[in-house]
Structure 1
Amino acid sequence: MNVSEFLWKRLQEWGLRRAYGYPGDGAGGIDVALQREVDAGTIEYVQVRHEEMAAFMATAHAKFTGQVGLCFATSGPGAIHLLNGLYDAKLDHVGVVAIMGQQARTAIGTNYQQEVDLHSLCKDVACEYIVTVTEPSQMRHAVDRAVRIARDKRAPTVLIVPNDLQELPYAEPPMAHGATHTGIGTTICSTVPEKAGLQAAAEILNAGSKVAVLAGAGALEATDQLLEIAEILGAGIAKALLGKAAVPDECPFVTGSIGLLGTKPSWDMMKECDTFLMVGSAFPYSEFLPKPGQARGVQIDVNSANLSLRYPMEVNLQGDSAATLSALIPLLHRKDDRAWRARIEKEVAQWWNVLEARAMTSASPLNPQRVFWELSPRLPENAIITADSGSVANWYARDLKMRRGMKASLSGGLASLGAGTPYAVAGKMAYPERTVIACMGDGAMQMNGLNVMITISKYWKQWSNPTLIVLVLNNQDLNQVTWEERIQLGEGKTEATQSIPDFPYHRYAELLGLKGIYVDDPAHVAAAWEEALSADRPVILEARTDPNVPPLPPHITLQQAKAFLTSLPTEPERASVILGSAREMLASILPGEKS
């Protein structure tokens, strides 16, 4: 084997059998060797249209499967393009291996074409491991360390391979001083904290009368344990955005998302609890958590760096969420007083009525909440839902009810625009039998989504279930930022920066041989979803929505209210903004009234 052939073989031995990437002469030998593996059926290659999409897809692959994601690119611009998606992996703590080509070793340092100092470029995003392979026998330990560290540290790692090395004969490391002989294998580590820590945590949780739980991405595999803990303690469960699929929303004590995109029951629960259990989350916005000193705290996280990071916890347990909760459950006492639980369930039921009322308020032409509200009961079993950044994330967070078995994700820590469609492709590639739905704003669609639709058109016929729906909210506005300017800066919409071109998204789908559906009438939204879900090919569902339906936070501060009022004199769409806000507020106060 040559070096590139060994690279792909070794990655397969680690279980990495799907690669997202784009070719180039800086990675020519790697490309040729990959083709041989594709021909042999040993590796699946997904050709993207832009390297950033490859890194996003590798990140989503890691999120949805729990495996290490894999992406590659050529030297120079190709490697640079990977960077944003790799930061997505870093900030959301998932393992991704990125392979980057480089100019010939003899050219490095000569300001050669496409020569970029990739170590300097990647030293932050791949701080856990980055290496340039300079000798054939080095490839073995370079691959082994890159995969092991990506998996165990849940972080991106980078392998840089100069193009003159790629087709040299591979040689095993010699039995000599200066050589190392690495191996493949499972890392066995302690996943449960010591008994004394568990007992201390149990004493705090047993003593509390108003227990609130916050579940994050680290708790996605701990659904049963979270539900049992909540039942024993009479607790409510709120969810960080990346933990949306951790527990089903059909449970009456699940308060939904937390934060600016969150719910009023989550806000109220956190502000009134006396005991706080945080599981697998590094939720960043401390103002939505209990006030320090208000509640006694217990936190569980596999990464010790996340412990007591957002709230001063009394007991910090480092360990796997499911295993730690399982060890904690026998130490807990069932609470006989269910008044706290009953109050949470009542507020959750009222909140769903508020959301329905908000969704049904009139808008011009469509209320975006209505689009999500009509989708929610129609979501197929085991669906995978992705969302992009922007105002679309508000409706995804609040209006979609997750059921057991579903998966959902988005760019969380980085909140990068344009990740929703590459996430959807990765979900479909990993689970081709499942229905996948990407929830996109028009800004994100214009940034990356149109690009990714070409990739979808290339691969969809190989999927056992062709159902992949890309929802586009077409409001010709970078809507989340527009509302942030109104609420945070006290400024009206800045049309030069916020208005974006109209585009016929549904017709674009048809140009690609896919299906396009357009809806601008609230009476037709349900039928549009039915048509999309029964289509024999991927769909772009374009919904013409009103940009002036406000994404109301769960709690409006005096400062936010003042800023909003200050923005109105300079607001070019003042009448529509006032009317849309009034309707939403009325629906929140009187959910049974028509507005």
Structure 2
Amino acid sequence: MADKVSDFLLKRLSQWGVKLIYGFPGDGINGILGGLERHQDMFQFVQVRHEEEAAFMACAHAKYTGEVGVCMATSGPGAIHLLNGLYDAKLDHQPVVAIVGQSARMAMGGNYQQEVDLQNLFKDVAGEYVQTVMDAAQMRQVIDRALRIAQSERTVTCVIIPKDVQELDAVEAPPHVHNSVHTGTGYFRPYVTPTQEQLQQAADILNAGSKVAMLIGAGAKGADEEVSEVADLLGCGVAKALLGKTALPDDLPFVTGGIGLLGTKPSWDMMMNCDTLLMVGSSFPYSEFLPKEGQARGVQIDIDGRMLSLRYPMELALVGDSKQSLRALIPLLKRKTDRDWRNKIEENIRDWWKLIDERAHQKANPINPELVAWELSPRLPENTLLSADSGTTANWYGRDIKIRKGMIGSLSGNLATMAAAVPYAIAAKFAYPDRPVVSLTGDGAVQMLGINGFITVAKYWQEWSDPRLIFVVFNNQDLNQVSWEMRVEAGNPMLPLTQSIPDFPFDTFADSIGLMGIRVDKPEDLGPAFDQALSANRPVVMNVYTDPEIETLPPHITIEQAKKFAAALVKGDPEEAGIVTKSMKGVIEGVLPHKG
């Protein structure tokens, strides 16, 4: 039988190195599904429970592997469901290709069932490249360009294929005539560094500084040796944006940890007192956590020129790959002999970890959520992959998990969408079936989408060489991050009407579908429960009952935020008594450090 366009599409994806496709079937992609049946040797098609999961998994695949993530959906509603996960990829600059079906060509424009203007629907999220294949000979150039542009621009692209086009006879190569386009496969990341003159300018600024601060992001992944060497030469500390948490281990004495709302006090102190800022591979969005304008001289290195001098008015903003640019910069830097600034930073870091230990062991009803991450952290295997959700779990992931060399972790960064942690973890497991994966997520996110992911895990887990996949669900029956934002930002009390969510037996649900469920409602049971989960012979869902009254305030709360916090209690927050007793130490510590 002659190859169809769907066969050619799949063979071409294989030539590009694609091995995993995340998707959900529908009649709008029946031709492609038939091709997948014929070419099972080329791909693993991961059948998810919802298309949004497929897009999250494609984004996570790109984050964890550095490869292009590919997701697939049918026309109309299936394509629409992809959008949230695709925006997650776009905002975090990840290469993802979405392949979607469409009504047959002769039906288009006829108000046909499930006909949606997909070209316009994807125009924003896949703005760099979204094309509809209308001819068999067009397939090669469209899929080649979608893959290449996704990688080159680190963004989302979309290929729309009408259902009748999928069944056309394939055209291996377009005719060598006028109006034909002839493309090829393959993309290699370029070697990009600033000029020697620019690097010398950067070195002059950094060498002149006496209190240098460094901030790195996801763009610095793979450059840990260079970052460490630069930090030693400059006598500085290194703060990490949340997406860059695993770019540098937390057990290094000069790593101040996260920055921003979910960050640490050592990072805050370093930024507020530095005279020079070096930012590498980061689009960290919150300028209030960076030095005040005019306080510090600034140097930035980023592969994307559009992100330069965006968060702080840099004196010198350079386009370049983080690793290669730092490697070229190092010979031009002079090692600072005065180490007082560095010593003070390291002292602050030691004090911070002691404080986090104290806060994690603060009494709660029933379990302090910070203790969950604190107890988990030292038990994590060396090569663990991690995911975290948006919400308060991101706080505990960002502050309490001590990343060690070899670990990889991620979450939804700039979109900060709920419900990404479970599909992220599943994608990590498909990409690395021989490595342990741990996901931190809230009960609201699991009720929103994560339960679907558990069912997907039940379908596939026995294919993995290492069965360790652990979902830690922080169950507090509260949309907790929003509750705290209402208190701190708006001065309003927690509103049960919008914030309370039902209790759900995540552990017994896991048992019912063939996974292992573990219920934890006592702090002394946390350690044994993690030990049991990490030695289990199947994926585990840990249903951990945590206290919603434990504060998740910024590392350095402002007086204005403290006033709003107090105002919320005066208005009659239903959890007022517990919050006052459990959180005042944290509030005082934020306003008046070391007075708590």
SS in 1 for 2:161: strand
Letter in 2 for 1:332: L
* 2:530 matched residue in structure 1: 529
* 2:406 matched residue in structure 1: 405
Letter in 2 for 1:555: H
* 1:325 matched residue in structure 2: 326
Deviates more, 1:469-478 or 1:170-179: 170-179
Q: Shift in Å at residue 87 of structure 1?
A: 0.2
Structure 1 residues 445 and 396, CA gap change in structure 2 (3 angstroms):
same
* Normalised TM-score (structure 1): 0.98
Q: Shift in Å at residue 582 of structure 1?
A: 2.3
* 1:464 matched residue in structure 2: 465
Partners in 1 of 2:144 and 2:591 — Cα distance? 58
Q: Could you tell me whether the CA contact under 8 Å between 1:244 and 1:257 is conserved in 2?
A: yes
Q: Shift in Å at residue 185 of structure 1?
A: 2.6
Letter in 2 for 1:497: T
Q: Shift in Å at residue 184 of structure 1?
A: 1.3
* 1:151 matched residue in structure 2: 151
Partners in 1 of 2:223 and 2:468 — Cα distance? 28
SS in 2 for 1:123: coil
Is residue 67 of structure 1 aligned with residue 67 of structure 2? Answer: yes
Q: Shift in Å at residue 450 of structure 1?
A: 0.5
SS in 2 for 1:549: coil
* 1:425 matched residue in structure 2: 426
Partners in 2 of 1:306 and 1:591 — Cα distance? 34
Partners in 2 of 1:398 and 1:500 — Cα distance? 26
Letter in 2 for 1:176: V
Q: Shift in Å at residue 174 of structure 1?
A: 1.0
Q: Shift in Å at residue 316 of structure 1?
A: 1.2
Letter in 1 for 2:36: L
- 1:33-82 Cα offsets, whole Å, 9 max, x none, are 012221xx211111100000000000000000000000000000000000
* 2:54 matched residue in structure 1: 54
> Please, which runs of 5 or more residues in structure 1 have no aligned partner?
none
Q: Shift in Å at residue 583 of structure 1?
A: 4.6
Partners in 1 of 2:134 and 2:275 — Cα distance? 58
Q: Could you tell me whether the CA contact under 8 Å between 1:433 and 1:463 is conserved in 2?
A: yes
Is residue 35 of structure 1 aligned with residue 37 of structure 2? Answer: yes
Q: Shift in Å at residue 317 of structure 1?
A: 1.4
Is residue 162 of structure 1 aligned with residue 169 of structure 2? Answer: no
Question: Residues 407-556 of structure 1: matches in 2 within 5 Å?
Answer: 407-556=408-557
Partners in 1 of 2:591 and 2:557 — Cα distance? 14
* 1:361 matched residue in structure 2: 362
Q: Could you tell me whether the CA contact under 8 Å between 2:556 and 2:590 is conserved in 1?
A: no
Partners in 2 of 1:392 and 1:514 — Cα distance? 23
- 1:376-412 Cα offsets, whole Å, 9 max, x none, are 1111011011000001110100000000110000000
Partners in 1 of 2:592 and 2:492 — Cα distance? 29
SS in 2 for 1:473: strand
SS in 2 for 1:284: coil
Partners in 1 of 2:385 and 2:24 — Cα distance? 25
Letter in 2 for 1:441: G
- 1:142-162 Cα offsets, whole Å, 9 max, x none, are 000000000110000000000
Q: Shift in Å at residue 193 of structure 1?
A: 1.1
Q: Shift in Å at residue 338 of structure 1?
A: 0.4
Of the candidates 20, 24, 42, which is equivalent to residue 22 of structure 1?
24
Letter in 2 for 1:533: L
Q: Shift in Å at residue 579 of structure 1?
A: 1.5
Partners in 2 of 1:467 and 1:590 — Cα distance? 43
- 1:344-375 Cα offsets, whole Å, 9 max, x none, are 00000000000000000000110000111001
Letter in 2 for 1:93: H
Is residue 306 of structure 1 aligned with residue 316 of structure 2? Answer: no
Of the candidates 2, 5, 25, which is equivalent to residue 3 of structure 1?
5
Structure 1 residues 345 and 522, CA gap change in structure 2 (3 angstroms):
same
Q: Shift in Å at residue 587 of structure 1?
A: 7.7
Letter in 1 for 2:369: P
SS in 2 for 1:440: strand
Q: Shift in Å at residue 572 of structure 1?
A: 1.4
Question: Residues 330-341 of structure 1: matches in 2 within 5 Å?
Answer: 330-341=331-342
SS in 1 for 2:214: strand
Letter in 1 for 2:137: S
* 2:138 matched residue in structure 1: 138
Q: Shift in Å at residue 592 of structure 1?
A: 11
SS in 2 for 1:570: coil
Letter in 1 for 2:108: I
Question: 4+ runs of 1 displaced by more than 6 Å?
Answer: 586-593
Letter in 1 for 2:576: R
Q: Could you tell me whether the CA contact under 8 Å between 1:354 and 1:591 is conserved in 2?
A: no
Partners in 2 of 1:588 and 1:324 — Cα distance? 37
Partners in 1 of 2:342 and 2:436 — Cα distance? 34
SS in 1 for 2:39: helix
The aligned length equals 592
Letter in 1 for 2:164: D
Letter in 1 for 2:74: T
Q: Shift in Å at residue 189 of structure 1?
A: 3.2
Partners in 1 of 2:54 and 2:272 — Cα distance? 41
Q: Could you tell me whether the CA contact under 8 Å between 1:143 and 1:159 is conserved in 2?
A: yes
* 2:274 matched residue in structure 1: 273
Q: Shift in Å at residue 128 of structure 1?
A: 0.4
Q: Shift in Å at residue 190 of structure 1?
A: 4.1
SS in 2 for 1:178: coil
Q: Could you tell me whether the CA contact under 8 Å between 1:357 and 1:592 is conserved in 2?
A: no
Letter in 2 for 1:69: G
Partners in 2 of 1:107 and 1:262 — Cα distance? 53
Q: Could you tell me whether the CA contact under 8 Å between 1:421 and 1:452 is conserved in 2?
A: yes
RMSD over aligned CA atoms reads 1.4
Letter in 1 for 2:114: Q
Of the candidates 560, 576, 580, which is equivalent to residue 578 of structure 1?
580
Q: Could you tell me whether the CA contact under 8 Å between 2:558 and 2:591 is conserved in 1?
A: no
Partners in 2 of 1:587 and 1:441 — Cα distance? 26
- 1:524-574 Cα offsets, whole Å, 9 max, x none, are 111111111111100011110000000121111121111111111231121
Letter in 2 for 1:128: E
Partners in 2 of 1:553 and 1:592 — Cα distance? 16
Q: Percentage identity across aligned positions?
A: 58
Partners in 2 of 1:213 and 1:35 — Cα distance? 51
Partners in 1 of 2:362 and 2:576 — Cα distance? 19
Q: Could you tell me whether the CA contact under 8 Å between 2:241 and 2:284 is conserved in 1?
A: yes
Q: Shift in Å at residue 521 of structure 1?
A: 1.0
* 1:561 matched residue in structure 2: 562
* 2:84 matched residue in structure 1: 84
Letter in 2 for 1:97: V
Letter in 1 for 2:241: A
Letter in 1 for 2:253: P
- 1:91-125 Cα offsets, whole Å, 9 max, x none, are 00010000000000000001100000001111000
Letter in 2 for 1:438: S
Partners in 1 of 2:74 and 2:185 — Cα distance? 27
Q: Shift in Å at residue 133 of structure 1?
A: 0.1
* 1:197 matched residue in structure 2: 198
Structure 1 residues 469 and 240, CA gap change in structure 2 (3 angstroms):
same
- 1:481-523 Cα offsets, whole Å, 9 max, x none, are 0000001111101111100000001111100111111111111
Q: Could you tell me whether the CA contact under 8 Å between 2:191 and 2:324 is conserved in 1?
A: no
Letter in 2 for 1:46: V
* Normalised TM-score (structure 2): 0.98
* 1:346 matched residue in structure 2: 347
> Please, which runs of 5 or more residues in structure 2 have no aligned partner?
none
SS in 1 for 2:186: coil
Partners in 1 of 2:99 and 2:500 — Cα distance? 38
